[in-house]
């Protein structure tokens, strides 16, 4: 199974706070960022490390460190940028690629309006960021673009993953590991996750 769900009471508590429509933009943004950091820790659980010689205040020793410039974070505009700080807090040297997609409100298919990746993206592991995995269209299109660019290792991090989106992503890209804070069952007729948290972009940027 390539789906990891953060099973933790504190995360459950934080997700409940952002589900609440009374939670304002500032707190919403802060919690998205906090949860994103924790998703990043989970996604890096088995990351390759390299050995270096260092000196502690007491003695010389061999230590293992992460090769930070192996990674590219790829937030899906707009809402994915809300997760970026949470990851950069812990892996500050990653490069960043942007993809702009919005969902056509009638067909729910994603429309691409921007794409700019680091030049050496094909040599990096891509960590795709989007708080919401609903139908899975935006995630699948993003991953397709990255694979077309030669990216071989991709992970997808989200706050809420809906079952239809998980199924589609697993079917179209079984090689991509998915990390989610919470799984929801359904989408409504407008493609919104139930119970979800509403429109993540609007809530992060205060546009509605």
Please tell me whether residue 173 binds ligand PRP under the rule CB under 6 A: no
| Angle CA 86–90–5, to nearest 5 | 60
Residue of 143, 166, 193, 204 that binds ligand URA (CB under 6 A): 193
Known catalytic membership, residue 202: yes
What distances in angstroms separate CA 189 from CA 131, 186, 208, one per listed residue? 20, 10, 20
Q: Within positions 29 to 88, which residues make up the interface with ligand URA, using CB under 6 A?
A: 79
Which residues contact residue 3 at a Cβ distance below 8 angstroms, ignoring those fewer than 6 apart? Answer: 161, 166, 170, 177, 178, 180, 183
Paired with 63 in beta bridges are: 52
Shorter beta-carbon distance to ligand URA: residue 112 or 152:
112
Please tell me whether residue 110 binds ligand PRP under the rule CB under 6 A: yes
8 Å CB contact between 113 and 76:
no
8 Å CB contact between 128 and 144:
no
Please tell me whether residue 118 binds ligand PRP under the rule CB under 6 A: no
Please tell me whether residue 135 binds ligand PRP under the rule CB under 6 A: yes
Count the site residues for ligand PRP by CB under 6 A. 24
Shortest CB 138 distance to ligand PRP, Å? 3
Shorter beta-carbon distance to ligand PRP: residue 11 or 162:
162
d(Cα 125, Cα 63) in Å, to the nearest integer?
Answer: 23
Binding mask 35-74 for ligand PRP (x = CB under 6 A): ----------------------------------------
Structure tokens at 103: 């969902």
DSSP H or E run through 54: strand 49-55
Q: Which residues lie near ligand URA (CB under 6 A)?
A: 79, 132, 134, 191-193, 196, 199-201
The catalytic residues are 103, 107, 199, 202
């Amino acid at each position: 199974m390539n789906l990891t769900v953060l099973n933790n009471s504190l995360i459950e508590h934080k997700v409940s706070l952002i589900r609440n429509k009374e939670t304002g933009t500032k707190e919403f943004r802060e919690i998205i960022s906090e949860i994103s950091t924790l998703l990043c820790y989970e996604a890096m659980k088995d990351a390759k490390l390299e050995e270096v010689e260092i000196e502690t205040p007491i003695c010389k020793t061999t230590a293992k460190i992460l090769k930070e410039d192996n990674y590219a974070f790829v937030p899906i505009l707009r809402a994915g940028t809300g997760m970026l700080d949470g990851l950069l807090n812990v892996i500050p040297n990653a490069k960043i690629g942007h993809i702009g997609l919005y969902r056509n409100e009638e067909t729910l298919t994603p429309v691409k309006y921007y794409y700019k990746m680091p030049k050496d993206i094909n040599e990096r592991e891509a960590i795709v960021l989007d708080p919401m995995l609903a139908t899975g269209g935006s995630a699948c299109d993003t991953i397709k673009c990255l694979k077309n660019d030669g990216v071989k290792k991709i992970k997808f991090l989200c706050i809420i993953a809906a079952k239809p989106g998980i199924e589609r992503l697993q079917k179209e890209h079984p090689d991509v590991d998915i990390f989610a804070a919470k799984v929801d069952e359904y989408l409504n007729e407008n493609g919104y996750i139930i119970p979800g948290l509403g429109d993540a972009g609007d809530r992060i940027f205060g546009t509605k």
